[in-house]
Structure 1
Amino acid sequence: MEYKYKFFAYLPQEAKDIRTEVFVNEQKFENEFDDIDDIAYHLIIWNGAKAIANARLYRDDKQENSYIIGRLAVLKSYRNCHIGSELMRLLEEKVKTLSGKKISLSAQCRARAFYEKLGYKASGEIYLDEYCPHVHMEKLINDK
């Protein structure tokens, strides 16, 4: 499959639709949208004319040269096609262009192995976010 992607400096409708489908309809989260959406970069991947995956990226105000990834979502019919890995690769490349050195994320525990395969390390205790177990994960980004 041939995919295209684009970063946005605002939350596009396609990203809202994907996040609503994945997080609200499938996973029953209630507080999906927040003020971070106003300051984040939003990445969308399309298969032809159909938006199939998205994630957001924003600067971590608590740590210099550090960014946070969140709201990574792939539509159900496109899972297990390596779209999540492609989202993460594109996000990491974006962080490098922004002179970022570290990426953090809050991973659903069921996705922990996915992030570990990409080089992310878990730290701290497991915590609940909307009744769903999560763990903090980080990765240092090299300038290669």
Structure 2
Amino acid sequence: MFTVRIATSDLEREDAYSVRSKVFVEEQGVPIFLELDDFDNTAAHFIVYSNETPIGAGRFREINEGIGKVERVCVLKEYRGKHLGNLVMHAFEEHAISTSMNKIILNAQSYAVPFYEKLGYVITSPEFLDADIPHRAMEKVLK
């Protein structure tokens, strides 16, 4: 059974960091000093669990009044293809709506653009590099 929780303890935050480290640092080669940053101290961290095992993560932060930013969305390789990205994105959107936000922005790795487009996000930038990985800025207006 898969569940998404917002971190409320140091242990849950460490679960999120562990998943992010495995995906972004070990798998994709992002330097740890770029992956973990000062925004981690204030962002809401979402963790996807399979029973009590952390298997996915992402963070969310308000960047302007009414606008939230989704960042660091990832799922461990062995759990991909199980629609867990949809699960965590739905949790982000519910959180944004519950905190009176009306727009979500994100920077998607270019290969993932079709995933976000299926969820209603639209491209708002040309391709750019972040940590030497091609990205596109995207956004979704919430109803």
Superposition TM-score, scaled by structure 2 size: 0.94
Q: Going by fraction, where is helix more abundant, 1 or 2? A: 2
- Percent identity, aligned pairs only, is 35
8 Å CA contact 1:10, 1:39 repeated in 2: no
Q: Which runs of 5+ in 1 are unaligned?
A: none
Amino acid at match of 1:129: D
The equivalent residue for 2:3 is: 4
Aligned residue for 1:119, secondary structure, equals coil
1-structure distance, mates of 2:28, 2:95: 28
The equivalent residue for 1:65 is: 66
- Alpha carbon RMSD of aligned pairs, Å? 1.2
2-structure distance, mates of 1:128, 1:140: 25
The equivalent residue for 1:29 is: 30
Amino acid at match of 1:57: F
Aligned residue for 1:29, secondary structure, equals coil
Choose 8-17 or 106-115, whichever is displaced more.
8-17
Count of matched residue positions in the alignment of Structure 1 and Structure 2: 139
Superposition TM-score, scaled by structure 1 size: 0.93
1:3 is displaced (CA, Å) by 1.5
Amino acid at match of 1:8: A
Amino acid at match of 1:52: I
Q: Which runs of 5+ in 2 are unaligned?
A: none
1-structure distance, mates of 2:142, 2:126: 23
* Runs of 4+ deviating beyond 6 Å: none
